[in-house]
Amino acid sequence: MWLNTDMTLLSLFKKKPKIIVICGPTATGKTSLAIDLAQQFDGEIISADSRQVYQGLDIGSAKVTKEEMRNIPHHMIDVADPRNRYSVAEYKEEAQKIIDEIISNKKLPIICGGTGMYIDALVFNHSFPEVPENKPLRAKLETKSTEELFTLLLSRDSRRAKSIDKHNKVRLIRALEIIEALGKVPQQKTHSPYSPLFIGLDVENDLLHTRIKERILERLNNQSMLEEAKTLHYQGVSWQRMEELGLEYRYMARHLQGDISFQDMVKQLSIATRQFAKRQRTWFKRNRNIHWFNPLIDKNNIRKLVTQFIKK
């Protein structure tokens, strides 16, 4: 009895392990900042990007290169076959093991990426219902547009509809699959087993839109991004699967099939990426614990904040 009480008190006062989370819209310099902080504070980086987990999606997902890593260990990159779906539950399970290992080695885990669902699942230890795949239901839902799927989700579970990316067909179908089995999507936890410091990066719209367009053209004209898409398809990644992978791979697949011109691909991809950045902002703005910075002018302030956090 007394032993159990003492153990409970000890667990209440035990300090949670510290982690850094760097998040924000695409093209804001998250990777560069993460590497700088990892070098300064003896850290290792865990990617939180839903496409960088896949092998071969290097240029299109802006995957960090070996040279850019500057000898900092990077985790959760190239861990999945792009022909198969890699779930957020799988990501969370593997990434938590890596966090434990980094902490046991007396180093600082730095989570870096723009996939809000991955970050929330990992940092807040979300659980996921073990609902098996419903193939007849999926086949039926696949015939619907994302707008139709979102409307259906809104009518079935309005709370889940508020937090989902309504443009992500895979997640919409999975949510409806869970609802079919359980009646609704279970609500997630909002507390964390860690002591996280959230750092958000963002810049004003005009600059962000310019960065997005320049990055697309650079990868298409100078980094052989279209050749990467051709190689993926040759290796068995179907056009439909490339549609699911989204953004660069979706529009490159449409261009390579002859559905849109090169110019239309660039235009449509630029618009879609700007819309994606807007959705990222919306997701992260819900977390009021994020400290927001402009990466172009606030690097010293970021370092000061991290230093204070580490010393606590």
Residues 101-138 pLDDT 10s: 999 999 999 999 999 999 999 999 998 777 888 889 98
The helix/strand/coil state of 66 is: helix
129-187 has which CATH code? 1.10.20
pLDDT above 90: residue 17: yes
Which pLDDT score is estimated for 6?
A: 46
- pLDDT band at 174; cut points 50, 70, 90: confident
The helix/strand/coil state of 60 is: coil
Sheet holding 108-112, edge to edge: 74-75, 43-47, 108-112, 18-23, 195-201, 290-293
187: CB partners within 8 A, 6+ apart: 159
Which pLDDT score is estimated for 24?
A: 98
Tell me the mean pLDDT in the region 187-198: 86
Tell me the mean pLDDT in the region 148-171: 86
16: CB partners within 8 A, 6+ apart: 192, 193, 194, 195
pLDDT above 50: residue 195: yes
3-state secondary structure 102-121: HHHCCCEEEEECCCHHHHHH
Tokens found for residue 311: 């010393």
The closest of 294, 300, 305 to 202, measured between CA atoms, is 294
Q: Which amino acid makes up residue 88?
A: V
pLDDT above 90: residue 12: no
Residue ranges, CATH 1.10.20, the chain: 129-187
- pLDDT band at 189; cut points 50, 70, 90: low
pLDDT above 60: residue 11: no
Tell me the mean pLDDT in the region 256-284: 97
Which pLDDT score is estimated for 7?
A: 43
Per residue in 38-61, pLDDT (tens digit) is 999 999 999 999 999 999 999 999
pLDDT above 50: residue 147: yes
Q: Fold for 17-127+188-311, please state it.
A: Rossmann fold (3.40.50)
Residue 302: alpha-carbon gap to chain centroid = 22
Tokens found for residue 272: 């879609």
Q: Across the chain, what does the average pLDDT equal?
A: 92
> Residue 150, exposed/middle/buried by CB under 10 A (0-12, 13-18, 19+)?
buried
DSSP 198-260: EEEE---HHHHHHHHHHHHHHHHHHS-HHHHHHHHHHTT--HHHHHHH-HHHHHHHHHHTTSS
Supply the DSSP symbol for 58: -
Long-range contacts formed by 84-88: CB under 8 A, 24+ apart: 85/170, 85/244, 86/50, 86/53, 86/54, 87/128, 88/50, 88/117, 88/118, 88/121, 88/128
pLDDT above 70: residue 4: no
Residue at token pair 């618009």? 271
Element containing residue 72 per DSSP (H, E): none
The closest of 243, 240, 247 to 270, measured between CA atoms, is 247
Rounded to two decimals, the pTM is 0.87
Tell me the mean pLDDT in the region 202-225: 97
- pLDDT band at 5; cut points 50, 70, 90: very low
- pLDDT band at 181; cut points 50, 70, 90: confident
- pLDDT band at 10; cut points 50, 70, 90: very low
pLDDT above 50: residue 247: yes
Q: Residues 108, 42: contact at Cβ < 8 Å?
A: yes
Which pLDDT score is estimated for 2?
A: 39
Give the range among 10-14, 17-21, 39-43, 289-293 with minimum mean pLDDT: 10-14
pLDDT above 70: residue 290: yes
Residue ranges, CATH 3.40.50.300, the chain: 17-127+188-311
Which pLDDT score is estimated for 132?
A: 83
Q: Residues 212, 274: contact at Cβ < 8 Å?
A: yes
Tokens found for residue 239: 């056009």
